[in-house]
Amino acid sequence: MLSAEDNQLLTRTDAGTAMGELFRRFWLPGLLSEEVPAPNCPPVRIRLLGEDLVAFRDSSGRVGVMQAWCPHRGAPLFFGRNEEDGLRCVYHGWKFDVAGNCLDLPNAPEGENYRARVRIAAYPAIDRGGIVWVFMGPPSAVPPLPDYPWFDLPASHRYVRKYFQECNYLQAVEGTIDMSHVRFLHSTLDQNASNPANAISNAAILNSVLPETLGLDETPLGLRWEYKVGQLVGVINIVWPALATVGAAGPGMQSVQPRVPVDDMHSLVFRLRWSEKPIPQDEIAQYRFGTFFPQEVPGTFLMAENRRNDYLIDRIAQKYYSYTGISSIPAQDLAVQENQRGPIMDRTKEHLVSTDDVIIRLRQMMLRMARDLANGREPEAPRHGQLMRNLRAGNCRVPDGADPKATVKALARLDADAPAAA
């Protein structure tokens, strides 16, 4: 369990908090590229790390992310006019570019000298790999953009969706890397013979004994977990501050889940599949209408199965077919993660066991990094973005007579030759 002080340090991410400042040292996923699909498209509201923001794509195709309120008298820029390389407030016509510079003050007789003194808080934003990435830290600390392997692939090689999660980010991250829940939460009662996860996952994980840790190592970018379940070995990479290479993906496919706090009680998860080859159209159709990318409430990023309808739990299905009675696999995760003693879990009341070793290690590292930053030591991980080019994960069966540790070392992973983290 954690102390109340440590739990608060880990879960509070608004501006000025230790963990919030740590998140602000990294490029963060902010929104889907398709939310601002074309130059001069309507602006959209977003909220990250407790800040209300507005995003837009200007006439030249650049993405801007800035505070949601006009600095004149606080009018909402969501209603603004996106025109001629800037966003214009509809209240008094003040206009700003993607960098936060004031372009026009049509109601101000003070003139050009005053305009030069007016700025709006704006954050660097870059559109790559189907996601708009935002840096919310100090201008002096902007790191290189992470070189994720899917960034340069054509759109035909990836599929990404965004979902709103009604709990603190840490509950979601810990649930993502908790391997021992799979054989329970995501199972069907016929020994997984009819489990839809069989289509793209290894059935050995669904029916396995509890996972055994083969290696748990800090890397320049985060944490690498090498595990064994039955005759299966695998690798999961956790990349600071909250990205994991985890999830059922299928042969030749990689699964990635970047996450970001919306505020202390809400978070976003981006569910991404990518491949070195074009993803077949029948697989895309399965993503759009199947169980791994749930349907959304129209006009929102809420899953159709959500807290308001008890995740559409079917008690008859729970009795005779599935362990939970909840249809989609992501909604099964949400049902437990969003309700762990409320939206911010009280970790002073938990009782951990040996299979929680990766969660314990993750917390220890995050606490250390947040405290280091609070004491003036900047994190090293944002400066190693080039290493993300090698970001891979996966699993395979151990050949008869082979050493499981040697087998897992042969799997693609997060740069085996990178120096150990300090």
Q: What strands, in cross-sheet order, belong to the sheet with 95-96?
A: 81-83, 86-88, 95-96, 102-104
Class of domain 27-141: mainly beta
Taking residues 313-329, report their average pLDDT: 95
Helix ranges (DSSP H) in 161-214: 169-176, 182-185, 203-206
Q: What is the DSSP string of 306-330?
A: -GGGGGG--HHHHHHTBSS--SSHH
Pairing state between β 63-67 and 122-123: antiparallel
pTM of the predicted model, to two decimals? 0.92
Whether residue 299 has pLDDT greater than 60: yes
Residue 288: its pLDDT value, please? 85
Distance CA 157, CA 269 (A): 20
In this structure, how many other beta carbons lie within 10 angstroms of the beta carbon of residue 283?
A: 18
Taking residues 26-42, report their average pLDDT: 98
CA distances from 97 to 76, 103, 409 (A): 16, 7, 49
Whether residue 184 has pLDDT greater than 70: yes
pLDDT tens digits along 91-112: 999 999 999 999 999 998 887 7
Q: Specify the domain boundaries for CATH 2.102.10.10 within the chain.
A: 27-141
Whether residue 224 has pLDDT greater than 50: yes
Rounded to the nearest angstrom, the gap between the alpha carbon of residue 315 and the centroid of all alpha carbons in its chain is 31
Share of the chain above pLDDT 70, in %: 94
Residue 50: its pLDDT value, please? 97
Cα-trace Rg, the chain = 22
Q: Poorest-confidence range of 23-37, 225-239, 358-372?
A: 225-239
Class of domain 155-409: alpha beta
Residue ranges with strand state E in 177-303:
212-218, 222-229, 232-239, 243-244, 254-263, 266-274
Residue 92 buriedness (CB in 10 A; 0-12 / 13-18 / 19+): middle
Closest by CA to 90, choosing from 100, 101, 76, 109, is 76
Residue 201: its pLDDT value, please? 57
Q: Specify the domain boundaries for CATH 3.90.380.10 within the chain.
A: 155-409
| Mean pLDDT, rounded, of the chain | 90
Distance CA 111, CA 102 (A): 12
Most confident segment among 107-111, 311-315, 385-389: 311-315
User: Which tokens go with 373?
Assistant: 């930053």
Contact of 383 with 182, CB cutoff 8 Å: no
Query: Torsion angle of alpha carbons 246, 127, 150, 24, nearest 10°?
Result: -40
Residue 420: its pLDDT value, please? 37
Taking residues 255-270, report their average pLDDT: 96
Helix ranges (DSSP H) in 222-268: none
Q: Which residue has the tokens 């100090």?
A: 138
pLDDT-based confidence at residue 203 (cuts at 50, 70, 90):
low
pLDDT tens digits along 44-102: 999 999 999 999 999 999 999 999 999 999 999 999 999 999 999 999 999 999 999 99
CA distances from 241 to 25, 33, 49, 217, 360 (A): 9, 21, 13, 16, 16
Taking residues 386-405, report their average pLDDT: 85
Distance CA 92, CA 108 (A): 9
Residue 192: its pLDDT value, please? 81
Largest distance between two CA atoms of the chain: 83
